[in-house]
Structure formats: C-alpha cells, structure tokens
Amino acid sequence: MCRTRSWRVVIAGLVVALPLLGCESAPPALAWTDCGQLVPDGGDKFDVGCTTLAVPLDHNAAGKTISLKLIRIRHRQQTDRIGSLLINPGGPGASGVEFAGGFVTRASEDLLKRFDVIGFDPRGVGESAPVRCNDDVDLDRALDFNEDMRAPATRAVIENELRRVTASCKARLGDSAQFFNTEATARDMDLIRSAVGDAKLTYAGFSYGAKLGATYAHLFPGTVRALVLDAPSFPLVDDNSTAERQLRGFEDAFDQFARDCATRPSCAELGDLRALLTDLIAQAKTRPLTHENPDDRRRTSGGTMMFGVMSALYDNARWRPLEDALRLARQGDGTTFFDLADAGTGRRRDGTFPNTFDASFVIGCNDGAVVRNDDEVASTAVRWSGEFPLFGGYLAHGLYGCRFWDVPRHPLVRPDAPGAPPVLVIGTLHDPATPYQGAVDLTAALGTGVLLTWEGEGHTAYLRSPCVDRVVDDYLVNVTVPEAGRRCPA
C-alpha cells in the first residue's frame, strides 16, 4: 500500500507526521545468524539469532540507508506464539541487543513462551551506525570534573569543552547528524515490526524507551497491539523542569537510602550520610581516592564519587555497595565508587566506553533541547547549588546543554495517541531518574494511557516487583488492561 535533542548531558546516563515518499515494498525476509554467546545464561533454553535491517537515513526521502543491529531470542518450548515483543532499555544511547540477554533471564517463562523477544540497537547506538564524538580519556576526565559551576572560570572550562565535543560530533556525522533523533527511531520501530512479520506492535520500553514508545503510539496508533511504557519522563516538560524533577528525585532517593541505613547497625555507625559524603568529596579534592587495582590508574577528586552515588540510587539493590563505598572512602579507597560509576556508564575493564554518551548528546539535542544564555546558566547554577545541596552543583555542569548544536532539530510533540488501544504506563513513587509525575503526565497526554503505580524505590518497576510483573504479563499476553488507579505495594 502506498503511503504518501552538554557536556554533562553527554555524561549523565547529558508536528504532524510527514508522509513517506513513494510506496513501501514488502520487507525482505530477515536472515538470522546464530549469536547464542550473547545470552550466556540461556543454555539450551533459547535459540538466539542476530541480523541487520536496512532503514532509510531520512524517512522522508529515498536514498541513503543505515543498518540496524537486531537480536531475536526464541524459547525452544514456545507454544501458542503471539508474535514478537520488541524491547528498549532506554538512554537514549543504551544497546537493546545487549539488554535482551538480561531481559530473558528475568522475564517469566509464561511470557517468553508466547513471544520472540526482539532487541535492537537504535540508530546511532551500539552497532547501528554508531555516533562517536569523544575518546575514552575525555570521558574519564569529564566524569570526574566537579568544580563549582557558580565560578566564571569553571563555566569557561565547560563551555570550551562543549565546543570541542559539539565540533567533533558534527565533523564525524556531517550532513547525517540531524537524522539521529527519537522520531526517526520510532519510524525504524515500525519497519522492524513489519520485518519480523507482526501486523501490530507489542512493545516494552524503559525510561527513555518509554518516551520512544509514546512517540510510536503518536505516529502509528493503528498498529499498536500493546505498549508498556515504564518510568517515562514527559516529552514536553522543558529541560529545566525535567532536570529539577530529577534533582528532587535524587535528593529524595538519597534520603530513602539514609533512612534504610539508620535501621542497620553496620551502616548506622557511618553517622550523618549527607555530611559524610560532603566531607569525603571535599577531602578528595586534595587527596584523590585511588583504585585498589594497581593497573587502574584513575584518581577521583569527587566527580566519579557523585556519579557512583547516583548510579547506586537507581536500584535499592545497590544500597549495600553504596554503604561499602562510603566506608572504604574514609580509608582512602575509591574502588567501590569506581565500580558503581562503571556500572552506570558501562565502562569496561580495559577502560573503554560504549558510545552511550555520544548518542545521548546527539539524540537529545536533535529532539529539541533548550539553549540557555550565560546569565541563565549562572543564575540556575546558583539556585540549584542552594536548593539541591548534594546533586545540584554536579548536575549544573550540564546547563550549557546543546548551546552550540546548530544542526536542524526535530522537536518532540505532544504524544497524544487517539485511535490507539489502551497503553500501559508505569510510574514508581520514588524513582530518582524519571520521577513519578512524568508517568502521570504521559498517561493524561496519551488519551488512551492507563497508569499503574509501584510504591517502591529506584528506576523502573517491571521485573523488579512481582505484583507489577503479573499485571504487565497479563497485559502483554492477553491485552488485559488493569483497573484505573491500580497500585502495587513496595
């Protein structure tokens, strides 16, 4: 049938749909090649295949294509197959191919026996035409930068670094830079749906993946079967408001950690955790913490510690390692802080990074990130440092955002989805990264959204709460929509 989005942002884990030109031809059959090594815990349970799919660089013009990397994980005892379940872990910039292996080790057997699980690296990410702007030394240095953003000299350093990063991205991407954006990826998802043979899309997206799923519902409401949007932010909240919601979320999450710490003698002996962390960072500026591995020559003067704390607050399962990190840091050992930070960044043992940060920067800027002037940056840095004493100063380094990104942008629009079936939106009450209000706002904007609330802590809820898992699995398998106002206890 014819159918006529900073330097710190790089580091932080940093319209009406136009018609397609011409006619779409039937997608070619995908040739899957065994890649079972990507699911090391799969054993004899799954058949694992990988392939690539060619998609247009520009969905509104014929011509150049790029290749997307896909993985398919199929249970060998599959029965009553429904179709494919497309998944995305978030970012923007996270690899869905890498995520899929972990997903199937945590998802229920009932779900896995009904769907092929399809993971994909979105355009610009992983092995799908990857965006590269920084080298690994630059990223290590930027992660640990923790100078006072209220000082003009600090702002000058960050501005110069942002000029360098922006110029590097633009030079490497050339005229293709503008086509790495959320709308284009949502259109790629519809081509994936068609290529795997599904008439309608079944999808689970986490964090930014939820925003991506909402964009798909807006563009293609008629091809939605079931969408799970877990831990979304609201696309139309301005960058300052989004950042301030996150700052409040991280401040609240640290307090949740501190209250839990006070209930355990081994942790309670650390005393006032806010004061301890503040003192440790101040001390590290003159006596940087080291790694116990002599081959790891990194030193942290505070920034990596902050990133490690934020990484730990994503999941209360990391609260014990955070306790250990604080205890060891009092002895001058930063190993556990480095480990927590590496878990959040994906930094490998050999010191290399995935391209998550570069992709996040480019996609975020292309999606229409705000540009602030010098006075706005300075005044906001002062306000954040006062209102958010632990995290405001560190995250203020991202205030310059996309200031020098003069590439044509593709701003996200209100993701209403009239004509789509009910879409399941999940919000966690104590989510630091995408605070709960984002799920409330997105549910209302979709028009067909149904909100499920988890009264827990951390980032995302599905596969972390048995109650949430039961609701989601029933929705994905049977398209059973939970009653309005459904809540799951922590």
Angle at alpha carbon of residue 159, lines to 158 and 161, rounded to 5°: 65
Q: What are phi and psi of 317, to 5 degrees?
A: -65, -15
Which residue type, as a one-letter code, is found at position 164? R
Long-range own/partner contacts, residues 435-438 (CB < 8 A, 24 or more apart): 435/245, 435/246, 435/248, 435/249, 437/234, 437/245, 438/231, 438/232, 438/233, 438/234, 438/237, 438/245
User: How far is 334 from 301, CA to CA, in rounded Å?
Assistant: 10
The residues annotated as belonging to the active site are 207, 431, 459
CA-wise closest residue to 310 among 248, 235, 253, 361: 253
Cβ-based neighbours of 394, under 8 Å, separated by 6 or more: 8, 146, 303, 306, 307
Terminal C-alpha separation, the chain:
48
User: How far is 272 from 280, CA to CA, in rounded Å?
Assistant: 12
Contact between 168 and 7 (Cβ < 8 Å): no
Contact between 122 and 188 (Cβ < 8 Å): yes
Cβ-based neighbours of 433, under 8 Å, separated by 6 or more: 207, 231, 246, 249, 250, 314, 459
User: How far is 406 from 400, CA to CA, in rounded Å?
Assistant: 14
Write the CA distances from 225 to 218, 220, 275, 280, integer angstroms.
13, 11, 50, 51
